[in-house]
Amino acid sequence: MPKLMTSRTARRIAIPVLMSLISGAGGTMGVASARAGVDTDLRAGVYMDANAVGIGAGVLTPVGSDNRWFFNPNLEVGFGDNENLILMNGDFHYDLNQSSNMSFWMGAGPAVIVTDPSAGSSRTDVGLNLLTGLSGTSGSVRPFAQLKGIVADNSQVVLQGGIRF
């Protein structure tokens, strides 16, 4: 039987990684145009099934030359009354419609979910993210919103919003 990650170990890994992503995001704002279409995102959301709110950060990079497929690895931390969540995601999405000001997408990707309940030991779960969203396409800072379903032993529905730059 595989050894589960303890909540202390998960926090020691996730919090520095999240802080690095956030501080790196702030440092890259001035050089966004020099990175050939690679964007940083900051996000906040509500984990409806866990009754938690969360924050996160990620990177959005095009896959291929048609600018319709994107890879969006991200890290999220959710804080709830009864449990905290740490999610590491490797999402891909496809832009279905790219107008001059708005983009609509659908996608999926793997997720690793560490659940740290206020009572008991932490659990690590592997799941599948299913997501849809829309975002602004013009300007150096663009808002986005997404609805994400996480299919796992401890499934979640997440409503998120954020900015990309």
> Is 83 within 8 Å of 117 (Cβ atoms)?
yes
The CATH topology of domain 7-164 is Porin (2.40.160)
Q: Which amino acid does the sequence have at 103?
A: S
Q: Is residue 89 exposed (0-12), middle (13-18) or buried (19+ Cβ within 10 Å)? A: buried
Residue % of the chain over a pLDDT of 70: 78
Is residue 77 over pLDDT 90?
A: yes
Q: Which amino acid does the sequence have at 101?
A: N
**pTM beyond 0.75:** yes
Higher pLDDT, 97 or 129: 129
Is residue 137 over pLDDT 90?
A: no
Q: What are phi and psi of 144, to 5 degrees?
A: -145, 160
Q: How far apart are CA 73 and CA 103, in angstroms?
A: 19
